[in-house]
Structure 1
Amino acid sequence: MSLHDDAVLVLKEYEGQEALRGLYLAHLSEHPDGVWKACRAGHVTASALVVDPERGRVLLTLHRKLRMWLQMGGHCEPGDASLAAAALREATEESGIRGLALAPGGPVRLDRHAIPAPCHWHLDVQYLALAPSDAVAAISEESLDLRWFAYDEVAAVADDSVVRLLEAARARL
């Protein structure tokens, strides 16, 4: 199965956010390259909120280019067998944590956000990644900083999209 086919299947099975889900599916129907960064009309991305439920905290990255506290995530790559695999790869690379596991049940949220030209939109499919109890985070070259935040601290440092992702993730726990 191609990554494009996997994305369509994941989105067809996703429950909730019907209008946005429909927009993602229409995009993929119109753009066979819609999962790749090269698609200038926008492209599907995969991200994961890294959560340590035992300690009630989340790991956020201070994105080097955007200078915002965000979940881990980014563009799909040719070696990604699925959106879930892309999200887990990105979370592992950007957090430095080995042994992350995606929570069962598929994506927890969708988030569409504008990005600078030459592309126009990221159609982010967002997952929940569970950190092992012995997790040790290590900053990557894509980050200015990497930090654990208690659930109730996130709204003070991150934008509304991250707060909504945390709410959806906590509902899944």
Structure 2
Amino acid sequence: MTLHADATAVLTGWTPPDAEQAALREHYLRHLADHPDGMWRSSRPEHITASALVVDAGRERVLLTLHRLVGTWLQLGGHCEPGDTTLAGAALREATEESGLAELKIDPEPLQLSRHLLEAGGCKDAYHLDVQFLVTATAGTDYVVSEESHDLAWFGVDALPADLDATVAALVRRLG
């Protein structure tokens, strides 16, 4: 199965939690149906991305990155790469690369979808059709700051940073 086919299957099989998420899912599926290259950053004006809300084992804290280009606290994640075979695998790869954490466990069902315009970097003026997964740190929580970040930090789910992106706040609220 190709990454494109996996993304289509994941989104088709996912039950969105509300009407807004259902509309986004339909948009993503139309994008994939219309764009054989829709998984790659070269697809414009939109492309699928994969991200991870990393939580500790008790789901009391979330690991966020102070993104170097965007300058705000975000979940970990990014573009799909040619070696990725599943959308969840791409999110897990990104979480591992950006945090240095080992033994991460991913829930294969999306937690949330987020369509957002990029205003910086190589994809400026393109939309990310982000599929956001829940990832649990099952071992130590000592992270390593990657070159993509100014900083990484654990935040209590009830003590998030003031300059948090609104879609990330909504993502954390979905932890229930």
* Fold match (TM-score > 0.5): yes
Return the letter of the residue paired with 1:164: A
Structure 1 segment 3-152 matched on structure 2, within 5 A: 3-16=3-16, 17-54=21-58, 56-103=60-107, 106-116=109-119, 119-152=125-158
**In structure 2, distance between residues paired with 1:119 and 1:29:** 22
Distance 1:55 1:5, change over 3 A: closer
Number of residues of Structure 1 aligned to a counterpart in Structure 2: 169
Identity of matched residues, %: 52
Alpha-carbon distance in structure 1 between the residues aligned to 2:127 and 2:34: 15
Tell me the C-alpha RMSD between the 2 structures. 1.4
Secondary structure of 2:82's aligned partner: coil
In structure 1, what residue type is equivalent to 2:6? D
Secondary structure, in 3 states, of the residue corresponding to 1:27? helix
* Matches of 1:100 and 1:144, distance apart in 2: 22
Cα separation, 2, equivalents of 1:137 and 1:160? 24
Give ranges in structure 1 of 5+ residues lacking alignment. none
| Cα displacement string for residues 133-170 of structure 1 (whole angstroms, at most 9, x for unaligned residues) | 422111000000000101111262412100111111x1
- Give the gaps of 5 or more residues in structure 2: none
Q: Give the helix-richer structure, 1 or 2.
A: 1
The 4+ residue runs of structure 1 with deviation greater than 3 A are 116-119
TM-score (ref. length: structure 2): 0.91
